[in-house]
Structure 1
Amino acid sequence: MTDTKQLDNDAEHAAFAHVSRGFYPTIVALFTATLIISNVCASKGVQFLQGFDFSIGPVHLLPISTDGAFFLFPLAYILGDILSEVYGFRATRRAIYLGFGSLLLTSLCFWIAVELPPAQFYENQEALTTVIGVVPRLVLAGVLAYFVGQLLNSLVLVLIKQRTKEKHLWARLIGSTVVGELADTLIFCSIAAGVIGITTWRDFVNYVIFGFVWKTLIEVVVMPVTYVVIGLIKRNEPTYTQRL
């Protein structure tokens, strides 16, 4: 009888589900957005110091060849480190799966948008195709590199944390980044180099070296900020203290 009255009372009011108070959803949203934006920007080939030509043996160091996502993509690994450090491998794996699905959905939507018949008054079909047109090799490069690199990054960080506990955060951040970024860079560059215009072995080696070194250096440079963010989340995450 009581349950019936409760249901009748509930039916008279709008019902809503509760949203988690933790930071996890917000970080995952930013993490996913970073991945999607980076994969769009990466379709552009970029070269710095074009007036210089410098090599050490077979390694071509100048000019520097990279892609248009070089300035943003390291953020994905910083966010991945934060997720792994605070929430663990299982929760980070869910975020990685979500990002994986989002990248595939983005590619599918881009492909559909390009293939839809343009209106007679629409004059930007060629430009749209150039900017968001789906290139299978770039999609494959981005999805595989992201999936393998992020899983390795999270796994290595968690494995190190199981040994060091709450100490030596710097070792976890750097160690996981080196492993994850190396795998990510090798996979992405190997598949995507030809698509963005890199056709020589010298430029490919330069592309790989610059990508790996840059991403790793960014992790080191912003480490003080990462420390502050992780500390803030740990202190304010309602469930974190239960694990200590």
Structure 2
Amino acid sequence: MNSAHTPRAVEAESLHGRPLRYFDFVMAAFVTILLLSNVLGAGKVAVVDLPGIGDWPFGAGILFFPVGYVLGDVLTEVYGYARARRCIWAGFAALIFMAFMAWVVVALPPAADWTGQASYEAVFGQVPRIVFASIVAFWAGEFTNSYVMAKMKVWTGGKHLWTRTIGSTVAGQGVDSLIFYPLAFLGAAGWTNDLVLKVLITQWVLKVSWEAILTPVTYAVVGFLKRREGLDVYDRKTDFTPFKASV
């Protein structure tokens, strides 16, 4: 397919199982960022010095986790809901396996002369409640994000991409936060109801703001992929059930 061609509007169902040039790369990037943001970012509380406010703590994962939502937007916008759904299930399975692997490796008895067990547990040891909340929130939030993105594309006739990327993130991150923070922290030691609500709203606002800031990047990536694939996919007749992974 000539990359110079203008993207051709097609119905998502007409693609069926047709291979696409860059889909596998975007899927790999989506799953990679999802896993790394959970492994490297979730466990660290960082701090930023805000003018007039002072030190403000935040979860380090917020720097990169929203990039996964950007890629989710790209997947739905360029390849359609069905392929985005396939990626969400791949990410869901990867998260479960990562949690299982971390549990097994941490639980293995350390060698007598190895002194790193405590540090290893501090980094990779996971609270089951938080892991469960994270996986459920990811699944529900990403499917909400993809569904809203696909529906808004049809409603807007493919125009005003920024309304879809931000609108879908408001919905998707809203569902993610509404599930994760109460499931993970409500009633936990040191977490009052007011604190859970404050963190929930703060993280939601920050994630949506980060998505808005990345809008030019989303435009560039979407434009590049549409030109390369030569397609502009619409989900007018798509079966939006989340409970399958076929394309």
Q: TM-score, normalised by structure 2?
A: 0.79
SS of alignment partner, residue 199 of structure 1: coil
The partner residue of 1:172 within 151, 158, 164 is 164
SS of alignment partner, residue 121 of structure 1: coil
Count of matched residue pairs: 217
Instruction: Flag structure 2 segments of 5+ consecutive residues without an equivalent.
Output: 1-18, 235-247
* Structure 2 partner of 1:58: none
Q: Which amino acid aligns with 2:220?
A: V
Deviation, structure 1 residue 66: 3.4
CA–CA distance in 1 between the matches of 2:177 and 2:122? 24
Deviation, structure 1 residue 196: 9.4
* Structure 2 partner of 1:44: 44
Rg (Cα) greater in structure: 1
Task: Answer yes or no: is 1:35 the counterpart of 2:27.
Answer: no
Larger RCO, structures 1/2 (Cα 8 Å, 6+ apart): 2
SS of alignment partner, residue 119 of structure 1: coil
Q: Once the two structures are superposed, what CA deviation does each residue of 1:11-59 show, in whole Å capped at 9, x if it has no partner?
A: xxxxxxxxx5611111111111111122222133445559x9x8xxxxx
* Structure 1 partner of 2:145: 153
- Closer/same/farther in 2, CA of residues 241 and 38 from structure 1, 3 Å limit: closer
CA–CA distance in 1 between the matches of 2:69 and 2:45? 21
Is contact 2:79-2:233 (8 Å) kept? no
Deviation, structure 1 residue 187: 1.3
CA–CA distance in 1 between the matches of 2:43 and 2:56? 17
Task: Answer yes or no: is 1:221 the counterpart of 2:240.
Answer: no
The partner residue of 1:107 within 60, 84, 99 is 99
* Structure 1 partner of 2:121: 129
Q: Once the two structures are superposed, what CA deviation does each residue of 1:187-241 show, in whole Å capped at 9, x if it has no partner?
A: 1122233699751334322211211111111111111111111001000015x26
Residues 1-244 of structure 1 aligned to structure 2 (within 5 Å): 22-40=21-39, 41-46=41-46, 48=48, 64-193=56-185, 199-238=191-230, 240=231
CA–CA distance in 2 between the matches of 1:195 and 1:33? 32
CA–CA distance in 1 between the matches of 2:189 and 2:67? 25
Is contact 2:30-2:71 (8 Å) kept? yes
Aligned alpha-carbon RMSD (Å): 2.8
SS of alignment partner, residue 69 of structure 1: helix
Is contact 1:46-1:67 (8 Å) kept? yes
- Closer/same/farther in 2, CA of residues 68 and 182 from structure 1, 3 Å limit: same
SS of alignment partner, residue 70 of structure 1: helix
Q: Once the two structures are superposed, what CA deviation does each residue of 1:108-164 show, in whole Å capped at 9, x if it has no partner?
A: 111111111211221101111111013211211110110000000000010111122
SS of alignment partner, residue 29 of structure 1: helix
Deviates more, 1:219-228 or 1:95-104: 219-228
Deviation, structure 1 residue 68: 2.5
Is contact 1:66-1:210 (8 Å) kept? no
Is contact 1:66-1:207 (8 Å) kept? no
- Closer/same/farther in 2, CA of residues 205 and 185 from structure 1, 3 Å limit: same
Q: TM-score, normalised by structure 1?
A: 0.80
Q: Once the two structures are superposed, what CA deviation does each residue of 1:93-117 show, in whole Å capped at 9, x if it has no partner?
A: 0000000000000011111111112
